[in-house]
Amino acid sequence: DAKTTQPNSMESNEEEPVHLPCNHSTISGTDYIHWYRQLPSQGPEYVIHGLTSNVNNRMASLAIAEDRKSSTLILHRATLRDAAVYYCILRDLGGGADGLTFGKGTHLIIQP
């Protein structure tokens, strides 16, 4: 899987939007962009994924750059429950690799 680069940590205030960036300059045409998060003392949980177009779901939005070399996970109104490590992962659905390759992720801190 191609490599992603994320900031080690970010801090935000409760009830404000949060933009978590991810760079993936070596992304291939068949790589999907996935985001997972891991709350303290829990297993990772799926957040969102996309290929080319921006995506929205009940948890977050995913904004993908036109050249697909970067993306941004947007939490529209952060709560204390959103404090977690957020992982940006590329997964090639054309290559047959099924496991997820986790990097170090971004540790999101939410201030009340």
Partner 1 sequence: DAGVIQSPRHEVTEMGQEVTLRCKPISGHDYLFWYRQTMMRGLELLIYFNNNVPIDDSGMPEDRFSAKMPNASFSTLKIQPSEPRDSAVYFCASRYRSYNEQFFGPGTRLTVL
List contacts with partner 1 (CB under 8 A).
32, 34, 36, 42-46, 49, 87, 91, 93, 97-104
CB of 19 to partner 1, least distance (A): 23
Question: Are the beta carbons of 7 and 21 closer than 8 angstroms?
Answer: yes
Nearer to partner 1, 13 or 93 (CB): 93
User: By C-beta, is 67 or 98 nearer to partner 1?
Assistant: 98
Rounded to a whole number of angstroms, the minimum distance from the CB of residue 112 to partner 1 is 26
Q: Residue 96 or residue 112: which is nearer to partner 1 going by CB?
A: 96
Q: In what order do the strands lie in the sheet with 61-64?
A: 18-23, 70-75, 61-64, 55-56
Look at residues 108, 85, 88 and name the one whose alpha carbon lies nearest to residue 33.
88
Min dist. Cβ of residue 16 to partner 1 (A): 28
